[in-house]
Structures are given as C-alpha cells and as structure tokens.
Chain A
Amino acid sequence: MGYFAESFTELYNADGWMDMGMYIGAGSSGAGWWTVIAAVMLVGVLVKGNSDEQDHYK
C-alpha cells in the first residue's frame, strides 16, 4: 500500500504536476480500506467510552 510513483519526473511535465491525488494508496482501494479502519476504531472507542462511563453511574 506504499506510494504509487517511483519518480516524480513521471508526474511532472511542462504543464506542472499532474492533477491527481498524491497520497499513499492513491488510485487503489487503499483509501477506502483506511476509511473503514478509521470508522471502526472511532465506533469502538465510543462503545468502550460509553461502557466505562455507565460504570460511574451505577
């Protein structure tokens, strides 16, 4: 899931940088998978946080 270009020469021409996403996982399903992972982590934190909070009210 590393970077998608071996050299920036191929991404730069007389018109400037190619207009495209230049991030790790660009052009692959990587971005979507990271979004799934981040969403699951956020929900997991909320579940854990709520569980601990409810313990304080008992």
Chain B
Amino acid sequence: MEDQILALTAEVAAIKSAAQVTNTMFAEMYYYVTIPLMVLIHAGFLLYEMGATRLQNVLSSGVKNLLAFAFTIAAWYLFGWWFYWALPTWPLDFSAGAGYMEISGLEYANAIAWAWGDSAQYMGPNMGDNASGVFWGAFALFAATTASIASGALIERIQTVGFVICAVVLGTAAWGIAAAWGWHADGWLVTKFGYHDFGAAGLVHAVAGFFALGVLINLGPRVGKFNADGSANHLAGHNMPLTVTGLMLIIVGFFGFLMACIILPGEGWSWYADKGTTIYGTPMTLSALAFNVPLAAAGGIIGAWVMTRDPFWMMSGCLAGIISVASGLDVYFGSTVIAVSMLAGIILKPCADWLEGLGIDDAVGCVTVHGTIGLFGLVMLGILGSGLPGLGAFAPEDTVALSLFGQIVGAVVMFLLGFVPGYVVSWLVDKAGMLRIPDAVQERGLDAVKVPAQAYPQGMASPESES
C-alpha cells in the first residue's frame, strides 16, 4: 500500500512537472507570437507613410520609417528597458527605490536590464529564463510602435538623423517612463491615482501624438502647405490605396499589441495561477479583446464615414476607434465600445481641421488620431469606469481605485511626457542644424537628392524624381 502511494505521488509530481513545462512553453510562445504580429504594425506604418507621401519623396519617407524601427529597438536594448524597470516610483520616491511588488527601482533594474555585468545574463539567451527575452521583445516592439506613430506626421521635411534622435528619445525615454509610471504594478500613477490604461491609449498613443506636436512646432510646415493668408492646401499623397492598406495592416498588428498586454497565469511572474490578467493584475480574458477590438474598429470607421466619406479618414477612424477604448478594453461592454468608438470617429476630422487651422502641418493626422483621441479615451474611461479597483487582489490596501480625477491626472502627465521631450529635443536638434530640410531641397524632391534608388523606375515618373 505504501509503495503504491509513493508511486502515485511520484506520478502526480511527474504530471504536475509536465503540466508546468507545457504552461511555460505556452507562455513563451504566446509572447513570442506577439512580436511578429507587432512587426505588422510597422509594415502598415511603412505603407501608410509612403502612400501619404508625394511621389518625389516616397523612398525618403521609407528610409526614415525603417530607421525609426531599427534605432528604437537597438536603443531599447541599450537603455530603454532599464527606464521601465528603474523608474516606476520616481520621482515620488526620488531615490527610485523598489515599490510594493518589489519588481522595480534602481537596484532591481541594475540587476536585470543592463547588457553588461551580472545583469547581462538576463539580456541574452538563458536556459533558465524563458520570460525575459519574450517580454523584452514585446516591449521593444511597443517602443518601436511609439516612435513610428510620430514618424508619419513629420514626412517630407525632416532630416534623417535629426529624426532618428527624436525617435530614440520618444521610443525609449518618453515611452519607457510613461510605461513605468502608468503600466507597472509599482507605477505611482497606478498606486496613487488609480490610473488605468490597459491598451496604452495614453502611454503609447497620446505620448507619441503630442511628442509629434512638439516636434511639428519647431519643424514647421512643408513647403506649399500654407498660403500667405494662412489658408491650408491639401498636399495629397501619391498612393491612397497604399495608405489605406497600411492602415488596415496596423489594425492587424494591434491584435498582437493588445494580446501582449495580458499577463498569463501559472508562472512565477503571473498574478494568479489560473486566470489571465491585465498588467495591473485585474481580471481579463482574450475574449474581452475578441469582442471589443473589432467593435471599436467598426465604430470608428462608421463614425468617420458619416463625417468625411473619405477612405483615408475612415481608416484613420478605425485606428481612432480602437484607441478611444484602448484604456478600458478589458472592462468595457461591447455596446459601450460601439458608442464610444463611433463618437471618436465623428470628432476625429473636426479636431484635425482645428489643429490645421492653428498652422500645424500634421501630414497624416497623427496628433489628432493618437494624441487627442488617446486623451479622449483616458477621460472617457474615467467617466464610465469610476470605481474600478486599481490593482488585483494582491495589491497593497491603500491602492487607489480608478476615478475621473485619476484619469485626468494621467492624461495631463501623458500629454506632458510627450509634448515636453518632443519640443525640447527637436529644439536642440534644430539648433544643431539637423531638423528641417532646406526649402529648396523640398521643392526639388528628397529622393532625387539623397536616396540612391527610384520608387517607380518604369512608371509614375514625376519631373522631380527624374531630375
């Protein structure tokens, strides 16, 4: 009898071990798959941006977009990852000590997030660590997405290296700090204000949108955008189908982006053994995304259609619809999503026109789609979701619940985290003579001047590209 019990115990232990291996491998694969899905966002941005560019500048826009992707990922490896882990409690705790969950602070970040010394073991292949690499990869793509969002607004007149400097600051420092404060269980916006931003409407979209606004103020408009009396001209991109298809690819990538926002169960780093959660430890399932993301996309398209009838703005409305509910995709009911996202699609174009009326040449509506609608989404969740517990069941007792006040504080912080670095870094780059392409070169066409290739060598030739 005793032997049988021992054998049974050993068998149960073997089954549990096998189940844990399966869980670990599933978790590793889950986050790994989000990475190529998020690369689709960049494929989309590449098409979107090049399509929105006039013929004489197409490849130049492509080069700029690709470099934002490449440099941001490299910089995220070198120091962006460290920002995220080091600064959740800073500056409330000026020494950047560890938070309640003890997965933050200078000491913790120094131990896991530098690519040298003892922490290097977590920044490369490691047979004892299935998690760090896939998490780093997903976050690196979040960083690259943040930088690419701003890229489109600046096309056809920003210098390449000057832009790369701006993109690195946005993708690492601005987004890294925003995520540390508002997308981390120890983040002070979360623990002190109940800030809730599941799908990064503020952390990614508002930060990127208002960073772009800061750069646009220093960069100025494209040659020919505004007339002497202040009225604006529409500088149509060379390929609307490319732009619209790119926008749809971005939506595909969003599914990877958003699924990466879920914390799977059953691992040492999980909140719970048996259910998935948000990054705040609050309960959610993939079904929440399966309901709400398509509904938000639909609502945004419909709202923008009734205002514009323009496929460019309809697909921008699709993005805006998702961004408008991104903060609360985990807690919104489907019908609520339809109503809120449709409203976002309706207000989108008037907001973009208002910005243009101020003399800002945002070539693709980036500031409005990502910035304005991102803040709109944060505040809407404050209005509709007030009372939502700030963190999961293992949180400290003094954790603050979601409130309209907390969401407004978060919205202001996200605006400043985008706009201030965007304005300051672009001002410095401008003073170094590395920001704006001279007007004479803009008039000639950027591809002819600095890209050793032709976009359409056997067709769609323009006088500028042939010169």
Q: Which residues of A contact B (CB under 8 A)?
A: 1-9, 11-12, 16-17, 22-26, 30-31, 34-35, 37-39, 41-42, 45, 48-49, 52
Contact = CB atoms under 8 A, between A and B. Distances in A.
B385 A45 contact: no
18 contacts: A2-B384, A4-B387, A6-B401, A8-B282, A8-B389, A8-B392, A12-B272, A12-B283, A12-B392, A16-B274, A23-B288, A23-B336, A24-B328, A34-B333, A35-B335, A37-B339, A42-B338, A49-B305
B393 interface: yes
A24 B274 contact: no
B303 interface: yes
Nearest to B391: A8
A14 B99 CA distance: 27
Interface of B: 272, 274-275, 281-284, 288, 299, 302-303, 305-306, 309, 328, 331-333, 335-336, 338-339, 342, 384-389, 392-393, 401-402
Contacts of A24: 328, 331-333, 336, 384-385, 388
Contacts of B328: 24
A45 B283 contact: no
Contacts of B342: 38, 41-42, 45
A45 B341 CA distance: 13
Given A16-B275, A23-B333, A3 B339 contact: no
A23 to B, nearest CB: 4
A31 B339 CA distance: 12
Given A1-B384, A34-B335, 19 more contacts: A3-B386, A8-B392, A12-B393, A16-B275, A17-B283, A23-B333, A24-B332, A26-B333, A30-B333, A31-B333, A34-B336, A34-B339, A38-B342, A41-B338, A41-B339, A45-B302, A45-B305, A45-B306, A45-B342
Nearest to A49: B306
A3 to B, nearest CB: 4
B302 A22 contact: no
A27 to B, nearest CB: 11
A39 B302 CA distance: 13
A45 B343 CA distance: 11
A57 to B, nearest CB: 14
- Best-buried of A3, A35, A39 by chain B (most CB within 10 Å): A3
